[in-house]
Chains A and B, each alone.
Chain A
Amino acid sequence: MAVSLSTWVLISNFKLAYNLLRRPDGTFNRHLAEFLDRKVPANANPVDGVFSFDVLIDRGTSLLSRIYRPATAEEPQPNIAELEKPVTAEVVPVIIFFHGGSFAHSSANSAIYDTLCRRLVSLCKAVVVSVNYRRAPENRYPCAYDDGWTALKWVNSRPWLQSQKDSKVHIYLAGDSSGGNIAHHVALRAIESGIDVLGNILLNPMFGGQERTESEKRLDGKYCVTLRDWDWYWRAYLPEGEDRDHPACNPFGPNGRSLEGIKFPKSLVVVAGLDLIQDWQLAYVEGLKKAGQEVKLLYMEQATIGFFLLPNSNHFHTVTDEISKFVSSDCIKTIGERIMQCIGALLCVDYVCLFKCFLG
C-alpha cells in the first residue's frame, strides 16, 4: 500500500498542524489555525480557464462564498461588472461545495480547496459555489447546516445561474469530510422546500456513532488519524451533552429519520479503504439503499483520506471520472429525452437519432 511522497508529506503536515490546534479541554487555537492555513485570494482573471470572486451571501452571519466560473471564448477576460453575467449554456450544473476540516478546520479560501473547486469547474463544466460556513467549536450544530441552507436558497434564487433550457438552477451539493455531512443535511432540509437538488456528491463524508465499529478499532491511529481525534471533533460540533448517536452524526442511527418514500437526491459516495470511519460511511450508503434511494458507492480500497487533494493517483482519476459522469448525466435529460432514451433502450435504437426524428 504505497502512497506518493507528496501526498504523505501533505497529509502528515496537516495532521501535525491539527494536533497543535486541538486542546484537550475542547477549545481550539483558532488564531494559530488561521495563521497556519494556507489561503489564496479570489482571482477574476481566468487561470486555466477558471476565474473566481467572493460574494457575501448573508451579512448577519458574515457568510461568504467563493464563486468559480469557467471563462468563455467570447469573454476571456471578464471585468468586475460582468462577474454575475447570466450563464449561457443550455444546461449549467451549479455545484454547491462544502469544504472539509471536520467542522473546525479550513475555509473556502484555503489553497487546497480553491484548487479542488477549480478542478471541479473544468471537470463538470459547472459553476462552483464554495461556502465558507461557520465552524466549530465556536459555532456548533446547527450553524454549519443553517449556512448551507442559506447558500442553497441563495443559489436557487440567482437569475444569472439559471440554465437556458428551463430557467431553473441545476443544483448539486458536494463536500468532503464534514462537507459531505453538511451536503446530506442540507439536502434533507431541501426536501419539503420545493428546491430541487439534482444530486449529492459525498467524498469521505464525516459520519459516526456511539458504537465502536470494526474499522475504527482496526485502523485507529494507523493512517494519520485516531479515534480520539474524531471524538474531539464531534464533541466540538454536536450540542453539548449530546452523544454520537445524534442524527447529525448518525443519520441512520437510533435517532435518525427514515427516508423511505422521500424524494431525496441521487448520491455518489466515495469511501477510502484506509479511512477509519469507513464503516459509518458504508452504513450510510446502506441506509440510503434500504430507503429506496438511488446511490452509487465508490470504494477505493487503497486510498487514504485526502487522496483527492492531489492529482497523482489512480484513485484521483477514477473519482473525477465518476463525478463528471454523475453531473453530466442530467445535462440531457428533459422528460422528453428520458422517454426517448427509454424507448431507444427498448428498441436498441440510438435515442438521439430518434429524438431528432421526433423533432422533424
Chain B
Amino acid sequence: MLRYDSTSSSAGSSSGSLSSSSSSSKPPQQDIDGLLAGAGYKVRSSELRQVAQRLERLETAMGNSPADFSQLASDAILYNPSDLACWVDSLLTEFAEPPPTCSSDFIVDPVNNQTVVNSAWTAAEPHTPQVHQNITYDEQQSLDNQLTVVTAMEEDSGIRLVHMLMTCAECVQSGDLSLATSLIDDMQGLLTHVNTVCGIGKVAGHFIDALSRRIFQGMGGGSVNGGSAFENEILYHHFYEACPYLKFAHFTANQAILEAFDGHDCVHVVDFNLMHGLQWPALIQALALRPGGPPLLRLTGIGPPSPDGRDSLREIGLRLAELARSVNVRFAFRGVAASRLEDVKPWMLQVNPKEAVAVNSIMQLHRLLGCEQTRNSPIDTVLSWIRGLNPKIMTVVEQEANHNQPGFLDRFTEALYYYSTMFDSLEACRIQPEKALAEIYIQREIGNVVSCEGSARVERHEPLAKWRRRLSGAGFRALRLGSNAFKQASMLLTLFSAEGYSVEENEGCLSLGWHSSPLIAASAWQAVPAWDNHMSSS
C-alpha cells in the first residue's frame, strides 16, 4: 500500500524553487508547486490533494476496463496537459466513472496526521488475449542526405565567419563603419574557403550581403524588398512547396476554424493576406464534408493592389468559387485591395452580424508593429476593430523569433540563429526550382530584418510569449488547440516532409520546428465579452 505524506510535500512546494529549466523570467506564481513545475506541470499546492484523489479514481476506473481506456486515447480530444487539474478532470468527464467504492475513500490517520490512501490497486487486470501480429512499421525514409565532408579547416572557417559576423554587427551598432567595412571584405574572402552550397557558408553569405547593404546605404532603409507583389507571390508559393511551415500554418488554422464554425450556417472568413488562396481549398472541402451539410461560406481576401490593371484578387476568388461549386458549397468572395493592412477599415469587410466570423492572419500581424510605440499604433487599431467584429475565432500564425528588439546586435544574433536553422531545414528539400526560390524568399526576409529600418522594416517578428501578452492586453483570450490538431499536424509532417521537423504543444498553442528549435507558432483567439471592454474602439 502506497501512502503519500502530505506534510513533506508542503515543505517541498514552499522551499522548492522553480526549476532551473524555466527559461523566461516569469513572475513566480503564488502557490504553484515548484517541484512539479520543474517537471513541466502546473499544479497549485492547494489543489495537489484533489488532483491526487482524482488520479486515484481514474486509476480505479482504468483497472476496471482497460480496453475502454485505450479507445479513449484514440477518440478523445485532449487539451493542455500541463494543467494537471484540468487534464485529469477532462479525462474523468470523458470516461464514465463507476460509482465510487468506499475503497477509494481517504482516511485521516489521527495519530500521525497523515492522509492514508486505502488504495484500490486492482490485484490482477483482466486478461486480454495477446494477438501476435507481424506488425511492420513504416520506418521513415530518411532522405539520402549527401555527405558533405567538412574538413577541419572548413569547420574552423565556419566558426571564424560567425565570430566575424558578430564583430561586424557590433561595429555597425556602435557606428564604427570603417572597421565594419573592412570586416565585410575579410568575410567575403573567408567565404571562398567555406562550402557555400549548404550549412553555415550559405547562410553566412546572405548575412554578409545584408550587412553590407546596411552599411553602404546608410540608415535610410534599403530597397531590399523592392520586389513586385507578383514576384513576392511566386516566391511565397515556392516557399510553400519547399518546406512545411506554411502548410502547417494553413492546416492548423483551418482545423481551428472548422471547429469554431461547428453548428453555424453562415460563416465568413477574413483572410489578411490572400496570396494565391492556397489555404482555402482544404477548408472548402472540409466544410463540404461536414456532417449536416456545408454552411454558406463567404471569404474576404485582403491583398495588395495589382499594378497592371489586373484584378488578381478577383481571379483567385473566381478559382475558389469554381472549386466550391464543384463540391456544392454555397460561396461568395470579396477582394479588398490594400497596400498595408492598417489601411483596411472594418466597413470594407461588410460583416453581417448574423455570421460566424473567422479572422485569419498568417504572418501579418508583425508587420503592424511600427517602430514607434504610439497610443494609436497600427497594431492597436487593427486589433481593436477585429475585436469589434466579435469573431468566433482569430487564427494567428507568426514566426517564432525575436527580430524586433531595439538593439541591432541582439536582433542580428537572433536572426543569425533563426535563419541558420531554417536554412538547415531547407537542405532536406529535394525539388527544384522550389528550393532555390524558397531560399530567395527567406533571403529577402533576412535582408529586411538586417538592413532595413523605420517603416521599411516590416519583418518585425516577435515570439509567441510576447504575442500572448499583447493579444491578452487587447481583449482576447486564447482558445486551446488540442491533441487532434497536434496529431494531424504530426501526420502531415510525416507525409510531406523529411525527418527532423517536430511539432510541439505549449499551453494550447502549436509550434513547428526543426530539430527541436521552434520556428513558427500557431495560436487561436477569441474576443473577451464586451462588458470587460476597457479599450474603446478608438
Q: Which residues of A contact B (CB under 8 A)?
A: 1-10, 12-13, 15-17, 19-27, 29-32, 34-36, 38-43, 45, 47-48, 50, 54, 56, 59-62, 64, 79-81, 84, 109-112, 114-115, 118-119, 137-139, 221-223, 226, 228, 240, 304, 309-313
Contact = CB atoms under 8 A, between A and B. Distances in A.
User: Could you say which of B41, B88, B499 has the most chain A C-beta atoms within 10 Å of its C-beta?
Assistant: B41
B16 A5 contact: no
A56 B499 CA distance: 12
Contact of A8 (B4, B11, B91): B4
Given A6-B35, A8-B52, A80-B413, A27 B135 contact: yes
B123 interface: yes
Interface string B38-63: 11110100001101100110110010
Interface in B129-169: 130-131, 133-135, 137, 139, 142, 145, 159, 162-163, 166
Interface stretch (B19-27, B232-240, B260-268): B19-27
Across chains A and B, which 9 residue pairs bring their CB atoms closest together, nearest first? A38-B40, A111-B40, A5-B9, A2-B5, A20-B73, A48-B20, A31-B487, A8-B4, A312-B12
Contacts of B52: 5, 8-9, 12
Nearest to A309: B39
Given A80-B162, A81-B163, A112-B40, 20 more contacts: A4-B8, A4-B12, A9-B36, A9-B51, A12-B52, A13-B88, A16-B62, A16-B88, A24-B70, A25-B131, A35-B505, A38-B39, A40-B21, A54-B517, A60-B145, A62-B500, A110-B40, A118-B20, A137-B135, A138-B137
B4 A4 contact: yes
B3 interface: yes
Interface stretch (B76-84, B288-296, B371-379, B439-447): B76-84
A14 B163 CA distance: 44
B516 A310 contact: no
B133 A34 contact: no
B490 interface: yes
B272 interface: no
B3 A25 contact: no
Contact of B20 (A3, A25, A47): A47
Contacts, number: 214
Contact of A312 (B16, B55, B69, B70): B16
Given A13-B55, A118-B20, A310-B12, A81 B159 contact: yes
A111 B13 CA distance: 18
Contacts of B179: none
Contact of A9 (B40, B43, B166, B486): B43
A45 B503 CA distance: 24
B6 A5 contact: yes
B36 A221 contact: no
Interface residues of B, number: 85
Contacts of B8: 2, 4-5, 312-313
Given A60-B145, A221-B121, A8 B20 contact: no
Contacts of B193: none
B327 interface: no
B81 A35 contact: yes
A32 to B, nearest CB: 6
8 contacts: A2-B8, A12-B59, A21-B73, A34-B504, A35-B487, A64-B515, A111-B40, A137-B137
Contact of A138 (B12, B121, B139, B159): B139
Nearest to B20: A48
A38 B41 contact: yes
A105 to B, nearest CB: 14
A9 B6 CA distance: 11
Given A54-B516, A309-B39, A312-B16, A1 B3 contact: yes
B58 A16 contact: yes
Contacts of A223: 2
A360 to B, nearest CB: 39
A5 B5 contact: yes
Contact of B5 (A3, A15, A110, A114): A3
A14 to B, nearest CB: 9
B35 A24 contact: no
B110 to A, nearest CB: 16
Nearest to B48: A5
User: Could you say which of A2, A35, A54, A59 has the most chain B C-beta atoms within 10 Å of its C-beta?
Assistant: A35
Nearest to A111: B40
A302 B67 CA distance: 33
B128 interface: yes
A240 B134 contact: yes
A310 B9 CA distance: 11
A13 to B, nearest CB: 6
B79 to A, nearest CB: 10
Contacts of A84: 159
B491 interface: yes
Contact of B2 (A3, A26, A38, A48): A3
Contacts of B13: 6
A31 B166 contact: no
B518 interface: yes
Nearest to A118: B20
A29 B5 contact: no
B122 interface: yes
B518 A41 contact: yes
A342 B136 CA distance: 58
B74 A226 contact: no
Contact of B35 (A20, A47, A50, A311): A311
B114 interface: yes
Contacts of B417: 80
User: Could you say which of A19, A119, A240 has the most chain B C-beta atoms within 10 Å of its C-beta?
Assistant: A19
A137 B134 CA distance: 12
B23 A23 contact: no
Given A6-B35, A9-B43, A312-B16, A56 B84 contact: no
Contacts of A8: 2, 4, 52
Nearest to A109: B516
A9 B48 contact: yes
